[in-house]
Chains A and B, each alone.
Chain A
Amino acid sequence: MKEMIKMVVVLTILSVTSGGSLAFLREKTQDRIEKQQLKFVKGPAILAVLQNVGNDPTESYFKLNPGTKDERSFFVGMVDGKEKFVAFESSGKGFGGDIGLMIGVDLETDQIAGVGVTTHAETPGLGARAKTEKEFTDQFKGKPLTETFKIKNDGGQIDALSGATVTSRGVTEGVTQAGIVYKELKPQILDGLKTLKK
């Protein structure tokens, strides 16, 4: 009996110490890891949707609703010293799970500056082409983000990738969703731009 209590006590203390110290370390490294992910994972996607900007959007960004599950980061693209574009993330349901999207939008005209796929689990050679085939994502360019996007099969304006209807539908849904979020948050985004450190 005594031995059993000792086993339980030792294992409990060990697990609690281990869990506690890891939680502490995670807290300490979180910001840095986020920055690294920005640079290596999201960075290329952001640069792809915000072309011809004069600054590094991965360096100038702000967050809305931090700490909640609605937390969103907005990456700012400057042209001639003025904040002209923001890029933010959205997602749509694809064939193999969520498709992560990066949407760039022109703040003055509300037009889409670019759409890029960040993470996905679509079928290679079919749905995965959403990430590599620029002709597909370029269809969104210049259209007002406030529109509802649909593929042509569903009576919309976007040509679906052949053989990847579900993926294409997921991307259009994600962009539409981004439009709803953008409409809702625009005043806050404009406020957020002021807090941005130069």
Chain B
Amino acid sequence: MAKTIVQEFTKGLWSEIPPFRLVLGLCPTLALTKSVENGFGMGVALTFVLVCSNVLIAALRNVIPSKVRIACFIIVVATFVIIVELMMQAYTYSLYEKMGIFIPLIVVNCIPLGRAEAFASKNGIVRSAMDGLGMGIGYTLSLSTLAAFRELFGTGAITLYEKPIQIMGPSFEPFSFLVEAPGAFVALGLMLCVMNLLGKK
């Protein structure tokens, strides 16, 4: 049962990787994976919120009365989300415009609240930080992979620093269904399938 600190970190990368294993946080997973840039940006934003809120909640876990814990968690998560929002507006405005409503929606995303309730409120600061970091990186990787798959086959190019890099040759016919909303479901389903096949012993 007792896991080492390293294990707390690595579980978020594979065995409990959020969108594929826990199947949490699907709204941005489906909506923001049209391009690698968006997916990666969302992942980084969520990682920041997750690590900060996990650390703060772990530090306050003995002070917060259990009856109002959800309210307290939401205040903490919301505070960090607004910090991210302000920072993005100030430094990466074009990315902020593309992600739009999904940044404030991190508040009601299951992952930060779920980690706060299931992990940070019961564990120490270091462990919670590692848990948050692992989950965040796992989420970023999943979103980036899914986005890379959709963007590569949907448009034939990968966008980095707002510049599309053509990867497929000129004779490649873009499978544009993948960058449409229904394509997100199909791509996610395929990814889940691959994950399950790989995990099967």
Interface residues of A (CB under 8 A from B): 3, 6-7, 10-11, 14-15, 18, 21-22, 25-26, 29, 32-33, 36-37, 39-40
Cβ B72 vs Cβ A39 within 8 A: no
Q: Are A39 and B93 in contact (CB under 8 A)?
A: yes
Contact of B86 with A25 in the complex, beta carbons under 8 Å: yes
Known: A14-B72, A29-B87, A29-B90. A22 touches B65 (CB 8 A): no
Determine whether B125 belongs to the interface, using a CB cutoff of 8 Å to chain A: no
A-B contact pairs, 29 of them (CB 8 A): A7-B65, A7-B67, A7-B68, A10-B63, A10-B65, A10-B68, A10-B72, A11-B71, A11-B72, A14-B75, A14-B76, A18-B75, A18-B76, A22-B79, A22-B82, A22-B83, A22-B86, A25-B83, A25-B86, A32-B90, A32-B91, A33-B86, A33-B89, A33-B90, A33-B93, A36-B90, A39-B93, A40-B93, A40-B94
Q: Mark B147-160, 1 if CB is under 8 A from A, else 0.
A: 00000000000000
Chain A residue at minimal CB-CB distance from B89: A33
- The A/B interface has a contact count, at CB < 8 Å, of 51
Question: Closest residue to B97 on the A side, CB-wise?
Answer: A40
- Docked CA distance A14–B72 (Å): 7
Q: Out of A10, A15, A29, which one reaches B86, CB within 8 Å?
A: A29
B59 within 8 Å of A (CB atoms): no
> Closest CB of chain B to A32's CB: distance in Å?
4
Alpha-carbon distance A6/B93, docked complex (angstroms) = 41
| Chain A residues in 8 Å Cβ range of B65 | 3, 6-7, 10
Residue of B nearest to A14 (CB): B75
Assembly CA distance A21 to B60 (angstroms): 17
Which residues from chain B contact A15 at a C-beta distance below 8 Å? Answer: 75
Looking across the interface, which residue of chain B has its beta carbon closest to that of A3?
B65
State the CA gap A126–B72 with chains docked (Å). 47
Measured in the bound complex, the distance between the Cα atoms of B41 and A5 in whole Å is: 41
- A10-B89 contact, Cβ under 8 Å, with A15-B75, A18-B79, A25-B83: no
**B: contact size bracket:** 20 to 34
State whether A36 touches B79 (Cβ < 8 A). Answer: no
Chain A residue contacts of B60, Cβ below 8 A:
14
Residue-wise, chain B 81-114 has the 8 Å CB interface mask toward A (1 for contact) of 0110011011101100100000000000000000
What residues on A are CB-neighbors of B94 within 8 Å? 40
CB of A53, distance to nearest CB on chain B (Å) = 23
Tell me which residues across on chain B come within 8 A of A3, comparing CB atoms.
65, 67
* Complex CA–CA separation, A158 to B60 (angstroms): 64
> Which of A10, A37, A40 contacts B64, CB < 8 Å?
A10
Per CB-CB distance, the 9 closest pairs between chain A and chain B, nearest first, are A36-B93, A32-B90, A18-B79, A29-B90, A33-B89, A7-B65, A7-B68, A29-B86, A33-B90
Residues of B within 8 A of A29 (CB): 86-87, 89-90
B78 touches A (CB below 8 Å):
yes
Chain B residue at minimum C-beta to C-beta distance from A6: B65
Chain A residue contacts of B71, Cβ below 8 A: 11
**A8 CB → nearest B CB, Å:** 9
Give B115-151 interface residues, CB cut-off 8 Å to A: none
State in angstroms the CA–CA spacing of A3 and B65 once bound together: 8
Chain B residues with CB under 8 Å of A18's CB are: 75-76, 78-79
Contacts A3-B65, A25-B86, A33-B90 known; 4 new A-B pairs at CB < 8 A = A6-B65, A10-B68, A29-B89, A33-B86
A36 vs B89: C-alpha distance in the bound complex, in angstroms?
Answer: 7
When C-beta atoms are compared, the residue in chain A nearest to B78 turns out to be A18
> Which chain A residue has the least Cβ–Cβ distance from B72?
A14
Interface hits, B33-89 → A, CB 8 Å? 60, 63-65, 67-68, 71-72, 75-76, 78-79, 82-83, 86-87, 89
